[in-house]
Amino acid sequence: MADRGGERAGAVRLTVVGGADVDDEELDSLTRQLRSALLELDVDDVRSWRAGGEVPAGAKSGEGLALGVLAVTLAPVVLRSVVRLVEAWLQNRPVRSVRLELDGRSLELGDATDAEKQRLIEAFLDARD
C-alpha cells in the first residue's frame, strides 16, 4: 500500500452484482457508471479488477478483467465517502448488490432495511478505525 502523507492508502474491491435480467454488456455499463462517480471523490485511483493477476503475453488489453469488479485505491479518510456514494448509487439501478472488500472484511449493500444497512455500514467502518 502506498503512503499518502502519513496515511496508508488501501485498495477496496467493489463487486457489482446485476439483477436477474442484467446481461454482461449492461453490467459493464453500470460498472463504468459507478467508476465515473467514484472518480469524483478524493480517491487515488479506480481501475477494473484483474482476474488472476498478471495479463498473459499477447492478451488483448481487456482480457483478464473481472466483469463488474473495481479496485479503488484510497486513503482511509475517504472510505466513508466511498461507502455512502455506493449506497446512494444503488438506488434506482438494476443492481442486486455491491460488495465492498477491504483488509479481509466485506460489506454487501443490497436488499436490507435502511436500519439494517446503517448498522452494517457503521460496523464495517468502525472496524477500520
pLDDT at 16 over 90: yes
Q: Which three cell numbers stand for residue 119?
A: 448498522
Give pTM, 2 decimals: 0.80
What is the arithmetic mean of pLDDT over 102-114? 90
The whole domain housing 120 covers 3-128
- CA-CA distance, 12 to 79, in Å (whole number)? 9
Q: How far are the Cα atoms of 41, 87, 88, 99 from residue 92, in angstroms, in the given order?
A: 21, 11, 9, 17
**Cα angle, residue 108 at apex, residues 127 and 77 outer, rounded to 5°:** 40
Residue 121: HSE in the Cβ half-sphere, 13 Å Cα cutoff: 20
Rounded to an integer, the average pLDDT of 55-73 is 63
Q: Is the pLDDT of residue 9 over 50?
A: yes
E strands, 1-129, are 3-4, 7-8, 10-18, 45-50, 65-74, 95-102, 105-109
43-70 average pLDDT score: 65
**CATH number of domain containing 99:** 3.30.70
Number of domains in the chain: 1
C-alpha cell at 83: 461507502
